[in-house]
């Protein structure tokens, strides 16, 4: 039977690809390396979906500037490196507390997850366990476990994928190898790094992963 135009142009669902997991690229900016004691300052998340041609593409982005939690350590060297002043008046005006920020972002991610017929999200990151550690610590502090869509320990790490694909482990160098523009002046912004990691992840998957779209049954 011939497919209708609508069916032909309908994108496949990610829920059919990664054992029901929705890949979500995450990057955090922090005031140190200890997820239990150091402040989470920024987070950005981008789910990965299919386009109509069955290619992996970045979905919508969700981000937040976050006020340091009470008693958080703020390492001056880390702040200088990432270029964030937690007490800049403009930043303070737009920043949210951890609970508000995570609940808002998780709500949006869960909407994408359900639309893609996925059971959980799986964190994608460049050195993914660093991001997962800070995310989990913030979830514990903010009491947002019930809204959290992420698998508790599984990740996709673009460091490993980049090493396999390009022999590179640095995000900027891997992006350059993939022909993805990377502006070092924009690096260490959670949203920018998430966007570039998402582009890199999609590039690698589209190059290496057989899609076998004929075997995917698009949900009505």
Is 42 annotated as belonging to a binding site? Answer: no
Contacts of 31 (CB under 8 A, 6+ apart): 38, 39, 41, 68, 72, 73, 74, 75, 78, 79, 84, 86
Is 29 annotated as belonging to a binding site? Answer: yes
Q: What is the DSSP letter of 147?
A: G
Q: How far apart are CA 32 and CA 146, in angstroms?
A: 27
Is 80 annotated as belonging to a binding site? Answer: no
Q: Cα angle at 201 between 209 and 220, to 5 degrees?
A: 60
Is 75 annotated as belonging to a binding site? Answer: no
Q: What is the DSSP letter of 13?
A: P
**Identified catalytic residue from 129, 151, 188, 211:** 188
Is 120 part of the annotated catalytic residue set? no
Q: How far apart are CA 53 and CA 181, in angstroms?
A: 23
Closest CA relative to residue 123, chosen from 104, 148, 100: 148
Q: Which residues are annotated as a binding site?
A: 27, 29, 188, 193
Q: Which residues are annotated as a binding site for Mg(2+)?
A: 27, 29, 188, 193
Catalytic positions, written as ranges: 188
């Amino acid at each position: 039977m011939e497919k209708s135009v609508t069916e032909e142009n309908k994108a496949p669902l990610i829920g059919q690809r990664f054992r029901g997991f929705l890949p979500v690229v995450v990057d955090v900016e922090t005031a140190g390396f200890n997820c239990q004691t150091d402040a989470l300052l920024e987070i950005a998340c981008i789910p990965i979906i299919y386009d109509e041609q069955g290619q992996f593409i970045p979905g919508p982005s969700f981000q937040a500037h976050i006020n340091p939690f009470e008693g958080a350590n703020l390492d001056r060297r880390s702040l200088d490196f990432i270029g964030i002043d937690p007490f800049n008046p403009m930043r303070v005006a737009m920043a949210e507390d951890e609970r508000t920020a995570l609940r808002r972002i998780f709500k949006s991610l869960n909407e994408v997850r359900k639309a893609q017929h996925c059971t959980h999200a799986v964190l994608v990151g460049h050195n993914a366990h660093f991001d997962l550690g800070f995310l989990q610590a913030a979830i514990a502090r903010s009491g947002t476990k019930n809204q959290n869509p992420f698998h508790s320990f599984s990740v996709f790490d673009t460091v490993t994928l980049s090493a396999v694909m390009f022999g590179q482990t640095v995000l900027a160098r891997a992006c350059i190898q993939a022909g993805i523009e990377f502006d070092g002046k924009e690096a260490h912004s959670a949203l920018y790094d998430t966007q570039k990691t998402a582009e890199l992840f999609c590039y690698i998957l589209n190059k290496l992963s057989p899609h076998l779209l004929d075997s995917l049954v698009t949900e009505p």
